[in-house]
Structure 1
Amino acid sequence: MLNAIEKQILDNVFEMQIYHGPKLKLDNYPLIEKDNPDYKSKWSEFGSYILKLRSLGYLKFEDSILTTGGRQNQKYRNNIINVWTDSLDIDKDGIAFVVKERETIKDKLVSEAKDIGFSLYQQVKTGLVGFVGGIIVSWIIGLF
């Protein structure tokens, strides 16, 4: 199961590779370490996500895109201090995951739109019937 950040990274790599979208930037993600002034911690966290995505077969990349140095971050168990994100590639399983995820989101939005549309229709119908009924009653009263 992927968390929201991992899904966002995978979706962004898909956009970057398939649609030539912008390259990934660290500041675009709601990282746990976002407020930490130490960029090493942010890169270690980001690195842990892409390493997980690679181990699941969703991303492909060579270790050479990872710049490492210093001591290992105990929390993320790596010593990544930079990632060349433009060299991340999405694998066929990653593409399938993104496509399925987008279909799920689309289906939810369509369902919600239908519910809103039906509710709006009911409100208009009820309001219109009341309005027409009021005009008829006013017309009848006006005749007498």
Structure 2
Amino acid sequence: MTNILDEIDIKLLNDIYEMDINCGKSINIDDYELTDPDLKRKRQELAWHLMKLERLEYVQLNKGAFVEGGIRHEKFKNNVYSIDWEKVHIKDKGIKLISEAKTNEININKQEP
């Protein structure tokens, strides 16, 4: 079964790879084309994408990765207030997917996880 990742998932996974493996820059929410103009709601949307990547076992969210508070987002089903990127790490499965994509210039969505 193929799990389709959307453009935000792929960019986020690649950015986590760069941050974790290559000691790249920290993740900036403004680098993503998210659906809501409100910053808090953008964080909730990005958190939803992170939780999806964790569910698919591409990333690990350590305890304290999310600070929660306030109103729960009706679409993204979370009340994440902030994200501690130092507690977000790429797992072997995510490293393999990004490495293969970079090496072979493949379309990530065509690959089996």
TM-score normalized by structure 2? 0.85
Please state if 1:3 is matched with 2:6: yes
- Give the structure 2 partner of residue 86 of structure 1: 86
CA distance in structure 2 between the partners assigned to 1:81 and 1:9 by the alignment: 18
**Contact kept? 2:20, 2:89, Cα under 8 Å:** yes
Shift of 1:106: 6.8
- Give the structure 1 partner of residue 72 of structure 2: 72
Shift of 1:61: 1.5
Counterpart amino acid of 1:94?
A: G
- SS of aligned partner of 1:89: strand
Percent identity for Structure 1 against Structure 2? 25
**Contact kept? 1:39, 1:81, Cα under 8 Å:** no
Please state if 1:101 is matched with 2:101: yes
Please state if 1:23 is matched with 2:26: yes
When the two chains are superposed, the root-mean-square deviation of aligned CA atoms in Å is: 1.6
Counterpart amino acid of 1:83?
A: I
CA distance in structure 1 between the partners assigned to 2:9 and 2:106 by the alignment: 19
CA distance in structure 2 between the partners assigned to 1:96 and 1:67 by the alignment: 29
- SS of aligned partner of 2:64: helix
Count matched residues.
104
- Structure 2, gaps ≥5 residues long: 108-113
Shift of 1:100: 2.1
- Give the structure 2 partner of residue 51 of structure 1: 51
Pick the structure with more helix per residue: 1
